[in-house]
């Protein structure tokens, strides 16, 4: 899935052969710039373009104001909020007006209670009803909420007690309802109801009285709504409208206070929230800032052109990363903790990884301007963003090493601490010192988060977009990469050539400030197309077998040579190499011609007009970046020096200078943005390195050997024994003594004179068969055993030795 997405992204980029200054290319860049300005404007003026709630700014009801808000002009207005608050307070202060107690309600409830008592009495006296039936009938009384226990108590009362209980219930109801009972007082009356029962009744009987009365008791005094509303309206009408006034520059809302409805109304009256003019101002300010950011980045790319960074694909990626950082800042500015913790420097570090430090620094300045506008024109925020990003861009170098990000996080954190302290020196007082400490903690966390954002962003871009980040280059540079292994097996000469070119490119790119890692890795893959026809390239030919001789067709030979560029690009796509790596494959020959086969074609045709030079020209394009131009020169220099085999540094320098001058005359370096100083630096490095690789060696002589010799052991008498020092005692010496016959003369080998470069080789004529052999230096201490050499005339002479040494 991700590989398909990456292929889709790659397909959006035009072919390298079309990356010229065409009208389509310019229109594409203009469209990307337009989208950048629109996106940045929407991000900076998001609240003005998409207002939410009652306020268009980041402040809302209940928000804490971080700084004093002052009136932009003098104003006096009637505060509807304050007036309504006072009128509501006056209306709530009016006591409700109640009517006198209604006696009819007491009579109705007394009648109801009497009916209930008569019904219960009938059930109690029913001679045919069972206990269960009587209990069920009592529970069915809807006017009372009796529980089974209370029903049982009622049925168990004797007749006299029951009559007394019913009479007491009527009396209690009448006594209570003679007093005014408001609805809000009903709960209190019910709580006091048990105290109204006569003391002559026991607890169980008193409970029955309360159960009979409590569900019948009702309020008898009610609020006179009309009279109460009339009184409240009079109180409201007596309140005069409340006015507020502010002078220009007067503080409307002080810092540290929560925004309430009164403050919200004041800000609205002053046009600080949802005024149309205010919205237009915010949008216009955001548009101008976004346009300035685009101009800054565009001017740098135009002033210091580099083909790799002027492609629409890269510019679109740069704008996308920039806008993601801008929208992230918008989210951080609306939440707590504040913007001090926002890792703005992470954008700069990420741009260093995917482009170069100069672009990262320009983008950091642009980002600081826009984030400062988002933070209500805060100079502190803009300084914090720009300083942290600039420090990160200037210091981060070895992006493939994790410890580099740890070190850079420390530098960014220290820079943030300095900036925060600079703008908050007043917080050093003892009363607010903890606030400054918290801000400094946020600044330290900012540095750590910036490094983490850069690492995560680099991993995501590498994995999703297949960009040549440091992690990707490290992976591609491994010798066990499948594609490099194929080159090593199928075209070993090309592999060795690529290694040498990679070394040249790396050193030259480092010296001129180009991307050394990218150039070195790309050089390893620049000739992968030669694997398809390895024998047609001289570095892979063995035994001087050249298949071009068998073809004897310069057109076909040139086609095969040129095809390694096209086939190499296809092979790179198959192995999903990044686009920047594929650029090296297509650009490292530029639009040069295959001169050898072109000249052969002209010789065969007899006329240059009869030969189509396009068939002998590489498709190109010319190198579009300094890195691809360096590799073109390194490739030409390495192969030419290897072919001509110069014997000294002067010859190497002449070859390299000739190649540089030729490529400049042909215009192959016109689009690469290389300066004369860069070319001179690269030329010097190439000469030094090529001299180290192809230095002359001493032509060592070949030691002569005897034409015919037979070895035989001869007897030696006592008189022939030579005095020799006795060997040292030890296992090795004893072993040697066992191997040497007693009659053998043993003597140590004399040391050889020290060899020097001035010593001439010793030559032995073929006809001098009895001439002594050249002395061969021994490897270890040896023992010499004399042997006899037999000549053609059957004469014997002691002319050679067999050296027999200790085993190591």
Q: At 751, is the secondary structure helix, strand, or coil?
A: coil
Specify the pLDDT at position 640. Answer: 93
Beta-strand ranges (E) seen in 249-350 are 251-253
Specify the pLDDT at position 267. Answer: 77
What's the CA gap between 389 and 348, in Å, rounded? 5
How far, CA to CA in Å, does 389 sit from each of 224, 342, 380, 415, 615? Answer: 73, 12, 14, 10, 51
Beta-strand ranges (E) seen in 275-357 are none
> Domain segments of the chain: what residues?
2-13+299-467, 69-90+239-269, 103-214, 472-693, 732-805
Specify the pLDDT at position 635. Answer: 95
* DSSP bridge partners of 69: 253
Fold (CATH) for 472-693: Hypothetical protein af1432 (1.10.3210)
Specify the pLDDT at position 18. Answer: 36
Specify the pLDDT at position 96. Answer: 85
- For 727, the token pair is 């060997």
- Closest CA relative to residue 585, chosen from 494, 659, 503, 523: 523
* Whether the Cβ atoms of residue 244 and residue 79 lie closer than 8 Å to each other: yes
Fold (CATH) for 2-13+299-467: Arp2/3 complex 21 kDa subunit ARPC3 (1.10.1760)
| Other Cβ atoms closer than 10 A to 299 | 11
Q: What is the pLDDT of residues 194-235, one digit of tens each?
A: 888 888 888 888 888 888 888 888 888 888 888 888 888 888
Beta-strand ranges (E) seen in 648-690 are none
Dihedral sign of CA atoms 567, 571, 576, 578 in order: negative
Radius of gyration of the chain (CA): 52
* Whether the Cβ atoms of residue 136 and residue 266 lie closer than 8 Å to each other: no
E strand or H helix at 799, and its extent?
Answer: strand 796-805
For the chain, the average pLDDT equals 79
Length in residues, the chain: 808
Q: What is the pLDDT of residues 507-544, one digit of tens each?
A: 999 999 888 999 999 999 999 999 999 999 989 888 77
Checking if the pLDDT of 592 tops 80, the result is: yes
Specify the pLDDT at position 581. Answer: 93
Q: At 94, is the secondary structure helix, strand, or coil?
A: coil
Specify the pLDDT at position 36. Answer: 92
- pLDDT bracket for residue 338 (50, 70, 90): low
What's the CA gap between 373 and 45, in Å, rounded? 9
- Closest CA relative to residue 587, chosen from 640, 663, 512, 645: 663
E strand or H helix at 175, and its extent?
Answer: helix 159-177
Q: What is the pTM of this model?
A: 0.57
Share of the chain above pLDDT 90, in %: 29
Specify the pLDDT at position 556. Answer: 93
* Whether the Cβ atoms of residue 564 and residue 529 lie closer than 8 Å to each other: yes
How far, CA to CA in Å, does 546 sit from each of 56, 537, 542, 572, 591? Answer: 79, 8, 8, 27, 25
Q: At what angle do helices 433-465 and 345-354 cross, to 10 degrees?
A: 30
Across residues 627-642, what is the average pLDDT?
94
24-33, 62-71, 326-335, 474-483: the lowest-pLDDT one: 62-71
What's the CA gap between 591 and 586, in Å, rounded? 10
What's the CA gap between 41 and 282, in Å, rounded? 10
* Whether the Cβ atoms of residue 705 and residue 783 lie closer than 8 Å to each other: no
Q: At what angle do helices 203-214 and 159-177 cross, to 10 degrees?
A: 50
Across residues 617-638, what is the average pLDDT?
93
Specify the pLDDT at position 684. Answer: 95
Q: At 31, is the secondary structure helix, strand, or coil?
A: helix
* Whether the Cβ atoms of residue 616 and residue 598 lie closer than 8 Å to each other: yes
* Whether the Cβ atoms of residue 148 and residue 139 lie closer than 8 Å to each other: yes
Q: What is the pLDDT of residues 136-175, one digit of tens each?
A: 888 888 888 888 888 888 888 888 888 888 888 888 888 8
Checking if the pLDDT of 693 tops 70, the result is: yes
């Amino acid at each position: 899935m991700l590989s398909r997405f990456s292929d889709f992204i790659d397909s959006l980029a035009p072919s390298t052969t079309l990356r010229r200054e065409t009208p389509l290319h310019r229109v594409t860049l203009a469209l990307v710039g337009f989208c950048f300005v629109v996106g940045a404007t929407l991000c900076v003026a998001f609240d003005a373009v998409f207002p939410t709630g009652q306020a268009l700014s980041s402040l809302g009801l209940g928000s804490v104001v971080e700084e004093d808000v002052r009136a932009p002009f003098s104003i006096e207005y009637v505060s509807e909020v304050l007036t309504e608050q006072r009128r509501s307070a006056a209306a709530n202060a009016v006591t409700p007006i109640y009517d006198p107690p209604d006696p009819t309600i007491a009579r109705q409830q007394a009648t109801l209670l009497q009916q209930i008592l008569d019904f219960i009495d009938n059930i109690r006296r029913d001679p045919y009803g069972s206990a269960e039936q009587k209990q069920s009938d009592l529970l069915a009384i809807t006017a009372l909420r009796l529980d089974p226990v209370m029903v049982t108590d009622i049925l168990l009362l004797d007749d006299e007690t029951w009559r007394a209980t019913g009479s007491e219930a009527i009396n209690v109801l009448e006594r209570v309802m003679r007093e005014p009972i408001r609805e809000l007082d009903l709960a209190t009356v019910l709580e006091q109801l048990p105290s109204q029962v006569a003391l002559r009744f026991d607890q169980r009987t008193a409970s029955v009285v309360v159960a009979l009365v409590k569900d019948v008791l009702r309020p008898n005094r009610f609020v006179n709504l009309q009279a109460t509303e009339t009184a409240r309206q009079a109180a409201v009408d007596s309140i005069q409208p409340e006015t507020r006034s502010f002078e220009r520059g007067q503080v409307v809302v002080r810092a540290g206070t929560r925004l309430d409805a009164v403050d919200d109304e004041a800000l609205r009256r002053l046009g600080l929230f949802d005024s149309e003019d205010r919205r237009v101002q915010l949008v216009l300010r955001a548009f101008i800032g976004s346009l300035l950011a685009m101009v800054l980045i565009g001017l740098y790319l135009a002033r210091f052109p580099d083909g790799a960074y002027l492609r629409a694909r890269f510019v679109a990626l740069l704008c996308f990363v920039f806008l993601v950082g801008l929208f992230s800042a918008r989210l951080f500015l609306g939440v707590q903790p504040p913007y001090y913790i926002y890792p703005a420097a992470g954008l700069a570090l990420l741009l260093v990884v995917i482009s170069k430090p100069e672009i990262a620094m320009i983008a950091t300045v642009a980002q600081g301007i826009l984030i400062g506008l988002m933070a209500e024109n805060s100079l502190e925020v803009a300084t914090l963003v720009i300083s942290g990003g600039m420090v990160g861009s200037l210091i981060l170098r070895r992006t493939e090493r994790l410890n580099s990000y740890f070190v850079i996080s420390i530098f960014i954190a220290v820079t943030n601490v300095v900036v925060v302290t600079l703008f908050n020196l007043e917080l050093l007082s003892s009363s607010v010192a903890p606030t400054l400490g918290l801000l400094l903690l946020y600044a330290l966390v900012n540095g750590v988060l910036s490094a983490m954002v850069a690492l995560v962003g680099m991993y995501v871009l590498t994995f999703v977009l297949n960009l040549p980040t440091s992690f990707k280059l490290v992976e591609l540079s491994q010798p066990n990469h499948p594609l490099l292994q194929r080159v090593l097996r199928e075209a070993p000469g090309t592999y060795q050539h690529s290694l040498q070119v990679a070394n040249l490119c790396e050193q030259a790119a480092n010296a001129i400030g180009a991307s050394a890692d990218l150039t070195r890795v790309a050089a390893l893959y620049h000739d992968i197309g030669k694997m398809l026809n390895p024998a047609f390239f001289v570095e892979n030919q063995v035994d001087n077998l050249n298949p071009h001789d068998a073809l004897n067709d310069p057109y076909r030979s040139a086609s095969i040579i040129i095809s390694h560029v096209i086939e190499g690009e296809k092979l790179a796509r198959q192995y999903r190499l990044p686009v920047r790596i594929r650029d090296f494959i297509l650009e490292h020959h530029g639009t040069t011609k295959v001169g050898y086969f072109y000249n052969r074609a002209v010789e065969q045709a007899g006329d240059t007009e009869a030969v189509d030079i396009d068939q002998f020209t590489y498709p190109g394009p010319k190198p579009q970046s300094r890195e691809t131009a360096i590799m073109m020169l390194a490739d030409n220099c390495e192969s030419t020096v290897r072919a001509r085999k110069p014997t000294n540094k002067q010859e190497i320098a002449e070859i390299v200078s000739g190649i540089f001058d030729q490529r400049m005359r042909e215009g192959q370096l016109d689009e690469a943005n290389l300066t004369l100083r860069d070319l001179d630096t690269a030329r010097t490095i190439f000469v030094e390195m090529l001299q180290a690789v192809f230095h002359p060696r001493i032509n060592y002589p070949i030691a002569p050997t005897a034409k015919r010799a037979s070895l035989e052991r001869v007897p030696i008498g006592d008189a022939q024994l030579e005095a020799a020092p006795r060997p040292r005692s030890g296992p090795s010496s004893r072993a040697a003594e066992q191997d040497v016959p007693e009659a053998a003369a043993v003597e140590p080998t004399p040391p050889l004179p020290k060899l020097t470069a001035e010593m001439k080789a010793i030559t032995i004529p073929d006809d001098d068969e009895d001439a002594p052999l050249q002395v061969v230096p021994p490897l270890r201490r040896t023992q010499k055993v004399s042997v006899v050499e037999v000549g053609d005339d059957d004469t014997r002479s002691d002319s050679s030795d067999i050296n027999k040494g200790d085993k190591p």
